Amino acid sequence: MPLIREEDKKFLMQEFEKHLKDDIDLVIFTSESPECKYCKETVELAEEVAEINGKIHLEKYDFDKDRKDAEAFGVEKFPATIVAKHGEKNGRVKYYGIPSGYEFGSLIEDMKNVSNGEVEVSSKAMEIINKIDKPVSIKVYVTPTCPYCPKAVGTAHKFAILNKNITGEMIESMEFEQEAEEVGVSSVPHIVINGEVQFVGAYPDDQFAEYVMEAYNNHSKA
């Protein structure tokens, strides 16, 4: 049974036809390990999305066997889904855990944004993000049923598209329960920047960017 309904496929066909400019890669890392609860569904979802438009190229890797590729994309766990410009091996726009529920919408938006290479953020956020010249990692812990989480994920990924020094990761906290617990996730979206600056909530992009700058400044002082 398909994961994407026919009426949704028709809608996505129109959306992709209208908004996809350059070819993109949808990169999947899975594992045969029994620990990977949703690896099969993650692959199926990506396959169904990639079939909708010829500008979407699907790449599938085994996390355990394709270690060099995992390193190239900066993948540390599975399942992982990455959206990148076609032929570019970077994992700046990344999902850990199946991008289902509300996060499926985030994935579609990312595909359109990566394809166009343009995103909409406030002028203040743009000014801050343009100053980042060292690696910054933004992790957004979510659940599939959280209606506010896509905004936070979308903002992190927009920043990653705008600046090659930034990596934005969605982490499904129910699939990575131990990690979420260690970080102290009790409500979502829970954002962790460079492993130290944390906040909860879907903030406007200019306020989000200020937290990114705080983490950047802390890292620069270290």
In a domain, 193, yes or no: yes
In a domain, 94, yes or no: no
* pLDDT at 118 (0 to 100): 87
In a domain, 1, yes or no: no
149 and 201 within one domain: yes
pLDDT (mean) for 104-132: 96
Give per-residue pLDDT as tens, 177-196: 999 999 999 999 999 999 99
Is the CA virtual torsion 29, 34, 37, 41 positive or negative?
A: positive
- Rama region for 117: left / alpha / beta (φ>0; ψ in -120 to 50; rest): left
Name the domain count of the chain.
2
149 and 80 within one domain: no
Residue 161 · residue 119 · CB < 8 Å = yes
**Which band of pLDDT confidence, cut at 50, 70 and 90, is reported for residue 1?**
confident
192 and 139 within one domain: yes
Domain residue limits at 213: 123-221
Q: Mean pLDDT across the chain, nearest whole number?
A: 96
What 3-state DSSP class applies to 106?
Answer: helix
